[in-house]
Structure 1
Amino acid sequence: MALNFHQLHIFYTVAERGSFSSAAQALHMTQPAVTMQIQSLEEYFGTKLLVRSTKKIELTESGKALFPFALKSIELMRETERSMSRFTYMLEGRLQLGASLTIGEYVLPRILGPFGQRYPHISIALKVMNTTQIIEDIVNHQLNFGLVEAPVHHPDLISDPVMEDELKLIVPAGHPLSGRGQVSLNEVISFPFILREKGSGTRQVMEDELLRKGIEPQEIDTIMELGSTGAVKSAVEAGLGITIISPSSIKHEKALGLLEVVDIEDTFFKRQFYSIHEKSTLLPVSAVTFLTFLREIKNPQ
């Protein structure tokens, strides 16, 4: 018998999850099949790799020695797929992914068209939901991966940066700051704001930059907090205040002359979008291809 990547992947998943049944679920295998592959691997090395304790599976000394090599093999396979995906144009498959609200509603729709033209045989089923729901569906194997606006800290998931975004000051037509091109931060904070709710990724990016500039978030005259970017846009368009959101979300309103993007001197509300997927599950090549395509886009705006 020859050593193969499939067995190392199974061993890593069992060790990472501490359970044959949990590993079988993640790998879409039966538990006896997982057990058989581990036994074959142990026969190949001539040593016990895993032992059952009262609560979970634990690594033996030889298992602990093998674990980092199994991890390296998975990382190498992922890197190989990422590198080769740009040369693969006849892929087929159906991707099931989740995206947080801003990404799913405003960023991906403009990207899916060009991707579909390059890879016409890959179909995408997109769910737009909050990050908590995306995590739950990935862990329960309902989604291949997710796209979110902040890194996720979860023991079973990997977060990888895929795209950059930058929030900008948005003002309504006819506002005192419109037509200025660039304004000072001190001018900006003298006007009333309409913001996303506390805890949203957009709000957090804005507040972090203000703190970096020495301005406490409570100094902002926030007259309204709304739970969606669409609601914020409507309120700003109605002349109720100004806001800081992604310019990708106001393409239509900007084209109609209803809203305007204004730069703030020496102030940058930059953020990173992330992909998340299970540590123990290798993404299909079609998913790796899609993520590689996203990384080639420097800025989704």
Structure 2
Amino acid sequence: MISKLDLYKVFCMVGKSGSFSKTAKDLYMTQPAVSQAIMQLEKELDTRLFNRTPKGVSLTNEGSHLFEYVNSAINLIDAGEEKILEFKNLTAGELKIGVGDTISRYFLLPYLEAFHNKYPNIKFKIENGTTLEICSLLKSGEVDITICNFPIDDPTLELRPCIDIHDTFVCGEKYKNIVSKPLSLHELVKLPLIFLEPKSNSRQYVEDYILSRGIKMSPEFELGSHDLLLEFAKINLGIACVTKEFSQDYLNKGLLYEVQLIEEIPKRNIGVCFLKSVPLSPSSTKFVEIIEKRLA
């Protein structure tokens, strides 16, 4: 059975051409099928839409009014289909990424550049926040993917680990002699500690590990960014817990010194995260592919 939308498409073609036979040829239909479609539409609307003459057909007054609306609607549908094709071919669209400031600076930027060079018409929308915050944005549909600190314990999310990272402690010149030999966790927590704020996934991971050894800690400073951790440690305000891979510039220049621990904190990951229940958009799929290909 022909659908209502197909009936309107036939109506629109006949209205433009003024001919059942030409419409039949353009739509690869028989002329009786076109005539039957118009009759069905007229019956459903209880209105005559065309004047039939030996030379062809012409729109009635009612048909002319209907044609204006139908023609506009068909054009909008065609435009929408073209836009979907653009999205699939990555010639238009938007990629929404949730990510923390530190991961943006030290991990994400090269992949954004590579993707933009390959697909320059895709717009980026970057939402910053903690792992917990950006995962909430992911679940609410406000971002397509997140790039964040693992581990994450959430069965609704697909996790794709990308790189290993290591949590370590660093200090400035003032504490260089104190940490000249490996420290135990008990010795470490007696020093003035500088940590990220409690809601940070990185902070929780390290704190949970220390607590699992039966040791409680009480930081002197709780900060909102990784860069501030490095700067506070550099001016000798305490021992900062940082991501080693994101602190190499300070360590290589001798601005900070790494504190050696007798018992090292287990490594963890940074990775891509998205909803299991929602298929990735074409732009998200390509972006994840670029990351995984470069890392491989």
Give the TM-score taking structure 2 as reference length: 0.56
2:223 is aligned to: 226
Separation in 1 of the partners of 2:293 and 2:265? 22
Residue 134 to residue 195, structure 1, CA distance change in 2 (3 Å): closer
Q: 2:273 aligned with 1:276, yes or no?
A: yes
Task: Please report how far the alpha carbon of residue 98 of structure 1 lies from its aligned counterpart in structure 2 after TM superposition.
Answer: 0.9
Residue 178 to residue 111, structure 1, CA distance change in 2 (3 Å): farther
Task: List per-residue Cα deviations over 1:88-146 (Å, max 9, x = no partner).
Answer: xx9656422111343234332354345556x4546543222234442443344332111
Residue 207 to residue 155, structure 1, CA distance change in 2 (3 Å): closer
Larger RCO, structures 1/2 (Cα 8 Å, 6+ apart): 1
Separation in 1 of the partners of 2:155 and 2:210? 31
1:107-146, aligned counterparts within 5 Å?
107-113=107-113, 119=118, 121=120, 124-146=124-146
1:77-116, aligned counterparts within 5 Å?
94-113=94-113
1:63-212, aligned counterparts within 5 Å?
94-113=94-113, 119=118, 121=120, 124-152=124-152, 157-177=157-177, 180=180, 183-185=182-184, 187-212=187-212
- Say which of 254, 258, 262 aligns to 2:255: 258
1:267 is aligned to: 264
Residue 293 to residue 226, structure 1, CA distance change in 2 (3 Å): same
- Say which of 243, 249, 263 aligns to 2:246: 249
2:56 is aligned to: none
Given that residues 130 and 200 in structure 2 are in contact (C-alpha distance below 8 angstroms), is that contact kept between their aligned partners in structure 1? no
Task: List per-residue Cα deviations over 1:155-181 (Å, max 9, x = no partner).
Answer: 75434433322112211135325895x
Task: List per-residue Cα deviations over 1:69-94 (Å, max 9, x = no partner).
Answer: xxxxxxxxxxxxxxxxxxxxx96564
Task: Please report how far the alpha carbon of residue 247 of structure 1 lies from its aligned counterpart in structure 2 after TM superposition.
Answer: 2.4
Given that residues 166 and 245 in structure 2 are in contact (C-alpha distance below 8 angstroms), is that contact kept between their aligned partners in structure 1? no
Separation in 1 of the partners of 2:236 and 2:248? 18
2:291 is aligned to: 294
> What is the one-letter code of the residue matched to 1:183?
P
Residue 178 to residue 294, structure 1, CA distance change in 2 (3 Å): farther
1:42-81, aligned counterparts within 5 Å?
none
Task: Please report how far the alpha carbon of residue 283 of structure 1 lies from its aligned counterpart in structure 2 after TM superposition.
Answer: 0.9
Identity value in percent: 21
Given that residues 177 and 183 in structure 1 are in contact (C-alpha distance below 8 angstroms), is that contact kept between their aligned partners in structure 2? no
Separation in 2 of the partners of 1:250 and 1:171? 12
Given that residues 170 and 256 in structure 2 are in contact (C-alpha distance below 8 angstroms), is that contact kept between their aligned partners in structure 1? yes
Task: Please report how far the alpha carbon of residue 246 of structure 1 lies from its aligned counterpart in structure 2 after TM superposition.
Answer: 0.6
State the aligned residue count.
Answer: 205
Residue 174 to residue 111, structure 1, CA distance change in 2 (3 Å): farther
Given that residues 157 and 278 in structure 1 are in contact (C-alpha distance below 8 angstroms), is that contact kept between their aligned partners in structure 2? yes
Task: List per-residue Cα deviations over 1:21-68 (Å, max 9, x = no partner).
Answer: xxxxxxxxxxxxxxxxxxxxxxxxxxxxxxxxxxxxxxxxxxxxxxxx
Give unmatched runs, 5+ long, in structure 2.
1-88
1:183 aligned counterpart, secondary structure: coil
Separation in 1 of the partners of 2:151 and 2:188? 29
Separation in 2 of the partners of 1:224 and 1:179? 19
Task: Please report how far the alpha carbon of residue 235 of structure 1 lies from its aligned counterpart in structure 2 after TM superposition.
Answer: 1.7
Superposed CA RMSD in Å reads: 3.5
Residue 266 to residue 145, structure 1, CA distance change in 2 (3 Å): same
Give the TM-score taking structure 1 as reference length: 0.55
Separation in 1 of the partners of 2:114 and 2:252? 21
Residue 245 to residue 208, structure 1, CA distance change in 2 (3 Å): same
